């Protein structure tokens, strides 16, 4: 196994800037205002894009000012999916919070689960068995592929490539089947526990997952065959929705959107967590900063994720019979079978379920590379059995901030490509 080649340059921006200066709207960075000379004009028509238009990926409402087909003004109105996750999690004990977090970003659910679990474990100062670490990595990468497939399928569908949707959802279904096999759930698995995994990996999983790893590279080249030489797709995506590296950094972008703007930055490689420093993978970077680059970054990432899944699988196959969850009885539920024979286990089980465990006082911010970018979790603990404050740094929330910058001077039809390419999941935006 080769180590990842360290990045040689200190400053991670690759390639020249794609446009001069900054395109971020002034004075409000997230609101594109109609130019002064056009404000009184009768040609400006204000329309609502969303909140229930299928191409807005949920319930995003954009108020756009059109001059013919030209987008002159744009403002995002969000909050339609605001469900108060942060407030709700404050009312629940620590272990119940695991159920909430995957529902925030409902497409990249496994990453949300992971970031919460890792943050609580860091506060507890807890060690996790190696098998759990590698399985968490494997499932996170499967989930990354899942999320990118949903992105690719839906955004291609919106631009008229309807068949892409069916191909992507075919492979997505394979991932959901794998997920069901391991966790019992197709989505929102609650498989990661504080301390490890909920259950051991079922024996049949290794073979089924191996089949998927062997299948996926061919599927990815099929996608490229369908899209990458498709004249309509190229016309609709190349040079559309530009975002330069400097603007992307200024607008707090992260993940694939940042890498598509030529910033060579990936938390998995640059600030490794789990065991990402022990696997071999490349970080795809494209300098064009357009919709096409954002699509290519994600397709290339699926290929790299498949490689990581393969490496995790090789490791996990050698870990059969090893523990999958920590044996810390003050935090982790005792094994079910012990409840019938051991009074001590019964007491622990009762106390953990009714009162919950306690987490030392402190505040931490922990972040991981989710399919959409930097997924952060900020936790304040008072030392009690419930969190004092929980906040999620949502990458989609940041991605949405870039919409007016990308949409500057574009046509209304391109707006659909732009919104799709930034890949904001509204559950993640509104929380």
Note whether 430 and 56 are within 8 A (CB): no
Compare residues 145 and 248 and give the one whose CB is closer to another protein: 248
Question: Smallest distance from the beta carbon of 59 to another protein, in angstroms?
Answer: 12
Question: Smallest distance from the beta carbon of 156 to another protein, in angstroms?
Answer: 28
Q: Is 264 helix (H, G, I), strand (E, B) or coil?
A: coil
Is 1 a binding residue for another protein by CB under 8 A? The answer is: no
Sequence-distant (≥ 6) Cβ neighbours of residue 203 within 8 angstroms: none
Is 214 a binding residue for another protein by CB under 8 A? The answer is: no
Question: Smallest distance from the beta carbon of 10 to another protein, in angstroms?
Answer: 5
Is 87 a binding residue for another protein by CB under 8 A? The answer is: yes
Question: Smallest distance from the beta carbon of 261 to another protein, in angstroms?
Answer: 12
Record the tokens describing residue 87, joined without a space. 């407030």
Is 92 a binding residue for another protein by CB under 8 A? The answer is: no
Question: Which of 30, 70, 99, 230 lies at the binding interface for another protein (CB under 8 A)?
Answer: 30
What residues from 234 to 253 belong to the interface with another protein (CB under 8 A)?
Answer: 249-253
Helix (H) or strand (E) holding 430: helix 426-430
Compare residues 79 and 184 and give the one whose CB is closer to another protein: 79
Give pairs for 280-286: CB < 8 Å, separation 24+.
Answer: 280/1, 280/2, 280/3, 280/4, 280/307, 280/311, 281/4, 281/305, 281/307, 281/308, 283/259, 284/259, 285/14, 285/259, 286/259, 286/260, 286/262
Is 84 a binding residue for another protein by CB under 8 A? The answer is: yes
What does the DSSP assignment read for 179-248?
HHHHHS-SSS---EETTEESSPPPTTHHHHHHHHHHHHHHHHHHHHHHHTT-HHHHHHHTT-S---HHHH
Region at 365 (left for phi over 0; alpha for psi -120 to 50; beta for the rest): beta
Beta bridge partners of 77: 61
Sequence-distant (≥ 6) Cβ neighbours of residue 172 within 8 angstroms: 146, 149, 150, 153
Compare residues 106 and 212 and give the one whose CB is closer to another protein: 106
Is 363 a binding residue for another protein by CB under 8 A? The answer is: yes
Is 398 a binding residue for another protein by CB under 8 A? The answer is: yes
Is 388 a binding residue for another protein by CB under 8 A? The answer is: yes
Is 63 a binding residue for another protein by CB under 8 A? The answer is: no
Question: Smallest distance from the beta carbon of 349 to another protein, in angstroms?
Answer: 13
What does the DSSP assignment read for 311-341?
HHHHHHHTTTTS-SB---TTTSPPPGGGGGT
Is 350 a binding residue for another protein by CB under 8 A? The answer is: no
Matching residue, tokens 């019979």: 321
What residues from 253 to 312 belong to the interface with another protein (CB under 8 A)?
Answer: 253-254, 263, 265, 270-271
Is 28 a binding residue for another protein by CB under 8 A? The answer is: yes
* Binding track, positions 111-130, relative to another protein; x by CB under 8 A: -----------xxxx-----
Matching residue, tokens 């892409």: 164
Compare residues 172 and 372 and give the one whose CB is closer to another protein: 372
Q: In terms of Cα–Cα distance, which of 209, 195, 206 is closest to 324? A: 195
Compare residues 204 and 360 and give the one whose CB is closer to another protein: 360
Is 199 a binding residue for another protein by CB under 8 A? The answer is: no
Compare residues 183 and 381 and give the one whose CB is closer to another protein: 381
Question: Which of 364, 408, 411, 412 lies at the binding interface for another protein (CB under 8 A)?
Answer: 364
Helix (H) or strand (E) holding 379: strand 373-381
Question: Smallest distance from the beta carbon of 133 to another protein, in angstroms?
Answer: 18
Q: Is 377 helix (H, G, I), strand (E, B) or coil?
A: strand
Interface with another protein: number of residues (CB under 8 A)? 66
Question: Which of 4, 86, 334, 342 lies at the binding interface for another protein (CB under 8 A)?
Answer: 86
Question: Smallest distance from the beta carbon of 347 to another protein, in angstroms?
Answer: 9
Residues engaged in binding another protein (CB under 8 A): 7, 9-12, 24, 27-31, 78-79, 82, 84, 86-87, 91, 122-125, 249-254, 263, 265, 270-271, 328-331, 351, 355, 357-365, 367, 374, 376, 378, 380, 382-385, 388-389, 391, 393, 397-398, 400-401, 430-431
């Amino acid at each position: 196994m080769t180590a990842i080649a360290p990045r040689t340059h200190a400053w991670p921006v690759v390639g020249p800037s794609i446009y001069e200066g900054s395109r971020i709207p002034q004075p409000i960075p997230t609101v594109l205002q109609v130019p002064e000379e056009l404000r009184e004009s009768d040609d400006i028509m204000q329309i609502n894009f969303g909140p229930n238009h299928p191409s807005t990926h949920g319930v995003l409402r954009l108020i756009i000012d059109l001059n013919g087909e030209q987008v002159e003004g744009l403002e995002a109105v969000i909050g339609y999916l605001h469900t108060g996750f942060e407030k709700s999690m404050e009312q629940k004990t620590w272990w119940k919070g695991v159920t909430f977090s995957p529902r925030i970003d409902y497409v990249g659910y496994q990453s949300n689960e992971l970031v919460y679990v890792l943050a609580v474990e860091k506060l507890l100062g807890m060690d996790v068995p190696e098998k759990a670490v590698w399985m968490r990595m494997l499932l996170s990468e499967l989930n990354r592929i899942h999320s990118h497939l949903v992105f690719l399928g839906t955004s291609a569908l919106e631009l008229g490539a309807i068949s892409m949707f069916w191909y992507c959802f075919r492979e997505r279904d394979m991932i959901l089947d794998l997920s069901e096999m391991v966790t019992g759930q197709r989505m929102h698995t609650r498989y990661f526990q504080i301390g490890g995994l909920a259950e051991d990996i079922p024996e049949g999983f290794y073979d089924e997952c191996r089949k998927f790893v062997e299948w996926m590279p061919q599927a990815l080249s099929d996608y490229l065959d369908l899209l990458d030489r498709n004249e309509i797709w190229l016309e609709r995506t190349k040079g559309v929705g530009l975002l330069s590296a400097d603007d992307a950094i200024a607008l707090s972008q992260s993940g694939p959107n940042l890498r598509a703007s030529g910033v060579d930055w990936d938390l998995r490689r640059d600030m490794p967590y789990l065991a990402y420093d022990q696997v071999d993978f490349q970080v795809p970077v494209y300098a064009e900063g357009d919709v096409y680059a954002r699509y290519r970054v994600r397709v290339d990432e699926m290929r790299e994720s498949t490689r990581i899944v393969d490496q995790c699988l090789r490791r996990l196959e050698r870990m059969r019979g090893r523990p999958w969850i920590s044996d810390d009885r003050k935090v982790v539920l005792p094994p079910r079978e012990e409840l019938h024979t051991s009074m001590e286990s019964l007491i622990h089980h009762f106390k953990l379920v009714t009162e919950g465990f306690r987490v030392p006082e402190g505040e931490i911010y922990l972040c991981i590379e989710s399919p959409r970018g930097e997924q952060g979790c900020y936790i304040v603990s008072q030392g009690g059995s419930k969190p004092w404050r929980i906040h999620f740094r949502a990458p989609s929330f940041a991605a949405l901030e870039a919409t007016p910058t990308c949409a500057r001077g574009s046509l209304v039809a391109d707006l659909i490509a732009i919104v799709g390419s930034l890949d904001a999941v509204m559950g993640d935006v509104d929380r």
